[in-house]
């Protein structure tokens, strides 16, 4: 193998990874799997795809060794191969927001038109936690919360929040979080909380961002 063949081979293999991620549905699937193990049926439901299509996208990611499967009896669950997959996805996401004006504009205009509320960064949330007067609210599905969540976060899935507002204190600030900056569960939660008289903000990032920074997390799996 000469030098040119060596480089073509290496870069060709690396290109398989970028090609596998170069699809909007697969990008969303990676974000979803960053929350924990998920079945193909749930992935299809969350991404609004037919099960067959969701399965095809998962196979592309699996062939690129970005995801792996966990068989439990007759059920198959998918998960990211490791945290480096999310880190690569996050780097691409952050680069897109920083360099592609259209991405930033879409996010800003969507939130301005529907959820024009304050937000806090992970660093700001760490400072608030150290002050001791903060309630952290996880509004993702309970299954995702159980697989991993910010330490001491309270779990109230967004579809249950309107009926469970009394469980939250009104005298302390609430910071709601979900899957990441493109997830709107936290926005919906803050809108509901503010309307009900709570002081609430959304976390700019999501749980996977918190996790890869090595910040305290908890797992509640039985």
Task: Compute, in degrees rounded to 10, the torsion defined by CA atoms 184, 79, 160, 202.
Answer: -30
**Is 178 designated active site?**
yes
Strands 75-80 and 67-72: antiparallel
Strands 134-138 and 154-155: parallel
d(CA 212, CA 109): 28
Asked if residues 173 and 144 have their Cβ atoms less than 8 Å apart, the reply is no
2 beta partners: none
**Could you tell me which residues come within 8 angstroms of residue 34 by beta carbon, excluding any fewer than 6 positions away?**
80, 85, 86, 89, 179, 180, 208
d(CA 186, CA 158): 8
* The pair of three-digit structure tokens given for residue 165, joined into one six-digit string: 């507002």
d(CA 146, CA 37): 11
Q: Which of 178, 191, 200, 203 is catalytic?
A: 178
* The pair of three-digit structure tokens given for residue 206, joined into one six-digit string: 């999501």
Tell me which residue has tokens 């193990």.
Answer: 37
Asked if residues 28 and 53 have their Cβ atoms less than 8 Å apart, the reply is no
Residues known to be catalytic: 178
């Amino acid at each position: 193998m000469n030098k040119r063949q060596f480089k073509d081979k290496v870069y060709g293999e690396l290109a398989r990874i970028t090609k596998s991620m170069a699809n909007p549905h697969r990008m969303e699937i990676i974000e979803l799997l960053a929350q924990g193990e998920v079945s193909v049926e749930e992935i299809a439901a969350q991404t609004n795809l037919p099960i067959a299509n969701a399965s095809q996208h998962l196979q592309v990611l699996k062939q690129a060794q970005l995801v792996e499967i966990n068989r439990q009896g007759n059920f198959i669950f998918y998960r990211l191969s490791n945290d480096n997959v999310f880190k690569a996805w996050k780097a691409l996401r952050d680069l897109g927001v920083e360099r592609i004006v259209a991405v930033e504009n879409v996010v800003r205009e969507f939130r301005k038109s529907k959820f024009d509320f304050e937000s806090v960064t992970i660093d700001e949330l760490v400072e608030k936690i150290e002050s001791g007067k903060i309630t952290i609210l996880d509004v993702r599905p309970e299954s995702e919360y159980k697989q991993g969540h910010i330490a001491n976060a309270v779990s109230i899935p967004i579809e249950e929040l309107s009926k469970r507002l009394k469980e939250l204190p009104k005298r302390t600030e609430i910071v709601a979080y979900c899957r990441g900056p493109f997830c709107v569960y936290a926005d919906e939660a803050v809108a509901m909380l503010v309307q009900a008289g709570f002081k609430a903000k959304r976390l700019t990032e999501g749980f996977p961002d918190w996790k890869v920074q090595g910040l305290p997390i908890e797992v509640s799996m039985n």
